[in-house]
Each structure stands twice: as structure tokens, then as C-alpha cells.
Structure 1
Amino acid sequence: MRRKIVILNQAANYLTVGFANAFNKEFDEVVLVTGSVHVQGEELDNDIKIHYINKWHERPASKKAFSYLLALFRMWWLLLTKYRKYEVFFVSVPPMGYLLNLVVFNKFSMVIWDVFPDAFKITGMKESHPVYRIWSALNKISFRNAFRVFTISEKMAELLEQYAPSDKIIIQPIWSIFQENNKVEKESNKFIKQHNLKDKFIVQYSGNIGLTHNVEVLIDIAERLKENNKILFQIIGRGPRKPVLEKMVKEKDLPNCEFLPFQSDEMFPYSLSAADLGTVILDETTSKGSVPSKSYNLMSYGVPSLYIASKDSQLSVYANKYSHAKCFSKSELDEVSDFIMELSNDIELQRRMSENAVRASEDFKRSNADKFVNKYLD
């Protein structure tokens, strides 16, 4: 019998492409149901079929919610009709998409790399909230019905154990966009030249600047170091909190902060290479339930990292395991400032942390996609 699988992700990225190509080695037919495919490095195999649905919209919130619901309906309908005899592998968006296994009869598996409804705690939602209680109850049924439940870290697995027994959860890390350390040296880096960053020690945040990303802690650190004209805090990205942060910088009169838009795929390797210290920030109420993919990209380019997250987060585990990063809570901003000062003045420490980051990246290569599939088939 021909073995067929459909992969669901409304916003497919390099990870989805990796999953699809890995399954394509083992299955007779692979279909990707998505609203868009963002190719970064690895191309989707030519014989993988793409079934397009509506695109995901990041904002405004009303449009985002509608796009989720429409995608959920279209996925449900396709699984009931066109793909009712296919195995299902759900990846990421919409975040409630894996709950479709409650209303279809396919052999259904999922990868969990943001744990819901726990992530709603960032917004102040209590566990007593009806949405939280209902979603939690549905999780327990959904995971029990699933063929495979994957997650990407030990700490995330601990969080998921409230919904599923530990022997049901398969831990498998993901991977970086970049498979080699192709970091561009500052002397030949066109991003450095374009933005006149020569001789600066760059503390870089690159990513979404939303209501829940706590990027304002970087402004608080910059204020502590405003007299140091060597250290530059660079915030790259977009989101609803960006105007608020820009206003904070203006009011505090911080000449050591710079805002830039998201960089193009072509420029991204140069902007990443420009960072002397990469910053990853997680809200401490939910930091067990997430590992941002930027963490792996920084490792792959040998960029030392500053993690602002709880001590029981996976980021803290990685910092202690690989010594490529330091992890602080948001109540330790004085210690963060001291660390940045120390690193900016210590070339040998920079070298050691950079080498440790490259070594850490060996655990997060594209071969991990094949490991997902092997564990799926095991």
C-alpha cells in the first residue's frame, strides 16, 4: 500500500521544508498544505505537492485571528475530503491546528514548539480563564489520540507532561537556517559598512517586537550603559511595541540604541554576522515553553548569546551545557550590564564563547529533520 502524508502549516518556513523533504525520502507521496512557503536555503523537493490555502496575517490582531480560523476550517475540510486517507503531520500555524485530530480520523501527529494555552500567561491570562481551561482539556484528549507527539526540548517536554504522559512525548531538537559557519568578518561586512558600525561592540536583538516580547529590558540595559560610546544596542524587527520602544529611547536620550527594519534574506547573513552579542528574550512566565529559532542561528555563526529568561528555561540549560551564552532573569539587569561590559573588553572571552557556540551548533543541524522522520517511523 502506498504511504501518503500531508503536512499542515499555514506559514511554511525552512523547518517545514526540511520536514517535507525528509518525509519525501520515506513516503510515496508528500503534500504540503500551506498559505505560503518561505524558502531559506533548502528548496522544497520538486515532487512534493503544494496545496495552497489562505495566507497567515501577522497583524492587526483581528485579521490574524480570522486568518487562523479560515485556515483551520480549510485544513479540516481537506482532511475530511481530499486527504482523508493520508497520515497527518501538523507543524506550527495556526497554533490550535493540532486539535483537528479531535474531529478527523487520520493518523495524526504534531510538533509542539510553542506550548498553548500556557503561552497565554504572557498576556496575563489565568489558568481559571475559560479559554485556558477548555484548551487544556482539549490538549489532554488530543495528545492521547495522537500517533506521535514531538517537542523540541527537555524543558518543553516537562511542560507538556501536564497534558500527556512522558512516554508519549518524543524530544527531538530542530535546526538552524545556516548549516555552516559562514560568518562574514566585520572588515568585509557590507551591513557594517552600510550602517557605519566600525569599531562598535554590537548587542543585537533581531525578531518580532510584539506585546509579549519584553524587548524593553534591552532599553533598560542600554540606559545603564549609555556613557559607554563603544557599545551599541541594535534592535532589528517590527511589531506593535516598536513605536513605544522608540519613544522610550527618545525620552531617555539614549544615543547607544539603533532601530532597523527586518533585513532581507540576502542581507540577513551580514546583519547576523555583525552581532558581537546576540540577544534572546523570553517572558519568564512561559520560558519553559519556547526556544526561539534565532538561538540556533546565533550558534551556527559563532555569535555569543545573552539569554534573558527564567533559570528553569531550556535557554538556561543550553547556556550551562555549552558555555556559549549567559542566562539572566529580568531582575538581574545590573549583572547583565556587567557581563556586557566584561565581554566587550575581553577579546579572549569573546573567542571562547564564539568557539563554544559553533560547537553547540553541531547538535542542531539539518540532519535533525531526518531524525524526526526516523522516530516517526520507529
Structure 2
Amino acid sequence: MQKKIKDRKIVVVNQAVNYLTIGLCNAFAEKINKVALITGSIHEQGEKLNEAISVFRINKWEERPAWKKMISYLWGCVQILCLLLTKFRGYEVLFVSLPPMGYLLSIILPNRCSMLIWDVYPDVFKITGMGESHPIYRFWGYLNKIAFKKSHRLFTIGNQMADLLSKYVDKDKILITPIWSIFQSNKRVSKEKNPFVKKQELNGKFIVQYSGNIGLTHNVEVVLELAEMMKNYENILFQIIGRGPRVPYLKSLVNDKGLPNCQFLPFQSDEMFPYSLSAADLGVVILDETTSKGSVPSKSYNLMSFGIPSLYIASKDSELNDYAEKYEHAKCVDHKSLEEAVDFIINLKNDRDFLEEYSENAIEASKYYRRSNADKIVELYLA
């Protein structure tokens, strides 16, 4: 066994820890003797946090309403700053994900700080209609330039996101490191043996599934548009699984339009999630065109790992479009080209060979998005 580095200490900061941060912390714990985690919540799914990692709690991230979310972010930043200036003064710091402005604390911290960028701010604000001339956008962008220039390591997860970050820092400084799926191999459950399919009476249905958050910035209406365009096609069901403030509005749209081919379900438990995902014949991933370059939903990798073809609703300059063209496991269309999406769905349903080709390509693509990517991040960090 390789000896751990004893003269370095690192603390990972993420207000809401999921399997990705857990994998990253565990990878660091394999290399460094002292690893700590500052967080408000830990959701273990697929991998447990190494018991040797010290956990220090701050306030939890609040999902909604918006004002409560912002307060939780700001209070989290205050708690993080206090911990880093006292308890972790001698530690290296890696900021991950939440709070989204947390990494800006690096500007005033004496610590050696690094960032792993999964969503590019302030560019994500464009989804709310905020323009680049807005004072918040301009000020955040200015702070980005300072924080990124000062950073020890700056990671992001794809080429398009690196292009976006290059507005704030020399692109040569950006390290591109893909993330990974919850599931590390194709353990998709057949519909015949799937308890979710049985419970929801889905046998004989071709399932087009959107599973994820349904918030103010998630354009899930596009799924309903597709459902309306295809409401006369028998046995094609558009399934929306998730939660959020816009669910009642979307349900009212379904009733108003008289769409019998739509089904709404709440988020499934961790135990049921592999079965609900397995039920999908086609997974839908949606990115707003104004922010397509600045994000990649993790569900993209989960779909790949189960060999489920994907329909990406995103712009042509998105990371998702690059994936679709590179691996040929998905179709990427923009919001104005839904007729192409309809043709794709019909071809998948009616042509078994076509479906199998995309499924096999998805499994092949998933080999590039495995848990070993966490180890690669750590290797690059320590290089």
C-alpha cells in the first residue's frame, strides 16, 4: 500500500454533499493523512464516506423558497469563513458546488485554495433573465477573475465549461476532469422483473422519462410540448418524476391540454431509484439555452451507465451536444426543433436495432465517467 502524505492537510467544502463529493473525499483520504469535510448535509448513495474523514457541520442548504435558499447560502458562507480562519487555518481548501459563492471566500483567506466548478456563476443567472450588464453579474465576474487567478488548482468538468470559464482566467490554468455516475456498471433491471414497472402498471409502455428537479428555472414544459405533439401515439408515456414549486402548474397544463400520455410521480427513494431509472426507454435531460455551456446534469451519466438512450434538449454549443456527437448515444435538439425529437422517439420505439445501437453506445460512453475520475482529480491536484 502506498504511504499517505503526512505533511499536507485538506478540507473539502460543500454545503450539500452527494455521491460525487463523497467519492472525491474518499479519493483524497487514500492519499493524504488528514482529510476533513465542511458540510450541512450528507446524502450517501452508492458510496459511504470514509470514517477517517472528519466532518464539521454548518447549516443545511434550503431548496426553497428562494429567499430562504439565499439566506442559507449566506449564513453558510459566514460559518465556512469562521471555520477556515480558525479550525482549518493550516489546511488546504477545495471548494465544491454549494454555496455557489463560497469559493469567492478564497480571495480573503490565507489558505491555499482550489475550486471544482460544476456550475458556472454568474453565467447561470442568465436563466433568470439577468444580463451581463447587471451589477451583480459584473461584480461576481470581477471577483471570479481574482479568485481564479489566485487559485492553486481550478477544475471543471468539460471543454465547453472550460471555454466559459476562460472569460475569467487563462484557459491553460483550467483542468478538465469529468465526473461520474452513481452506478458504476450496467445493472439495469428488465421491465419483466422491475417492481417499479409493476407498481405503476407500465408494462407495454414506451417510457420517455424526465427525472429531476422541477424548479422555477427548469423548463419541463418542453416535455409537455412533446407529449402534446405525440398524444395520438399509443403506448408512449411521458413520465415526469421529481418535485418543485412548478409541479402544480405543470399538472394544470396537462389537464388543460387533455394529455392522457403524461404521468407525474414524486422523487423515488434511494432503494427504488435504480428501478425507476431502469424503467425508462429514453431519458430526457433539459438545459436552458442561455446556460447550456455552464452546466452538465449528473443524470446524464446515470442514464449512460444503465445503457439508456438520451434526448438532450440543449443548445448546439453545450457539453451535452458534444457528448451526443462524440458517443452517438443521444439526440441533442434545441427548443425550436422538437419535430426532430419526435422523429427520434418514434424511431427508437419502432426500430429495435436502432434502440439497441443507442443503448450499447450509452454503455460504452459510460466507461469514461467512472468513479476512477475522482482518483484522477486527486492525482492532478497533488501533481
- Aligned pair partner of 2:242 in 237, 240, 263: 237
Aligned twin of 2:121: 116
Partner amino acid for 2:266? P
Q: CA RMSD in A?
A: 0.7
Aligned twin of 2:109: 104
The whole-number CA distance in structure 2 between the counterparts of 1:272 and 1:311 is: 26
Residues 211-360 of structure 1 correspond to what in structure 2 (within 5 A)? 211-360=216-365
Structure 1 segments unaligned to the other structure (5+ residues): none
Matched, 1:199 2:189: no
The whole-number CA distance in structure 1 between the counterparts of 2:39 and 2:282 is: 35
Aligned twin of 2:162: 157
TM-score for both structures, normalised by structure 1: 0.99
TM-score for both structures, normalised by structure 2: 0.98
Deviations, residues 57-89 of structure 1 (Å, cap 9, x unaligned): 101111111110111000000011110100001
The whole-number CA distance in structure 2 between the counterparts of 1:176 and 1:82 is: 33
The whole-number CA distance in structure 1 between the counterparts of 2:194 and 2:142 is: 51
The whole-number CA distance in structure 2 between the counterparts of 1:73 and 1:102 is: 14
**Other structure's SS at 2:7 match:** coil
**Other structure's SS at 1:119 match:** helix
Aligned twin of 1:172: 177
Q: What displacement does 1:339 show?
A: 1.2
The whole-number CA distance in structure 2 between the counterparts of 1:91 and 1:106 is: 16
The whole-number CA distance in structure 1 between the counterparts of 2:307 and 2:348 is: 14
The whole-number CA distance in structure 2 between the counterparts of 1:11 and 1:208 is: 15
Matched, 1:66 2:71: yes
Q: What displacement does 1:197 show?
A: 0.2
The whole-number CA distance in structure 2 between the counterparts of 1:223 and 1:41 is: 37
Matched, 1:364 2:369: yes
Q: What displacement does 1:2 show?
A: 2.2
Deviations, residues 241-263 of structure 1 (Å, cap 9, x unaligned): 11111111000000000000000
Q: What displacement does 1:229 show?
A: 2.0
Partner amino acid for 1:293? S
Identity of aligned pairs, percent? 63
Instruction: Name whichever of 106-115 and 238-247 sits farther off.
Output: 238-247
Structure 1 runs (4+) greater than 3 angstroms displaced: none
The whole-number CA distance in structure 1 between the counterparts of 2:205 and 2:30 is: 46
Aligned twin of 1:21: 26
**Other structure's SS at 2:215 match:** coil
- Aligned pair partner of 1:41 in 35, 39, 46: 46
Q: What displacement does 1:228 show?
A: 1.1
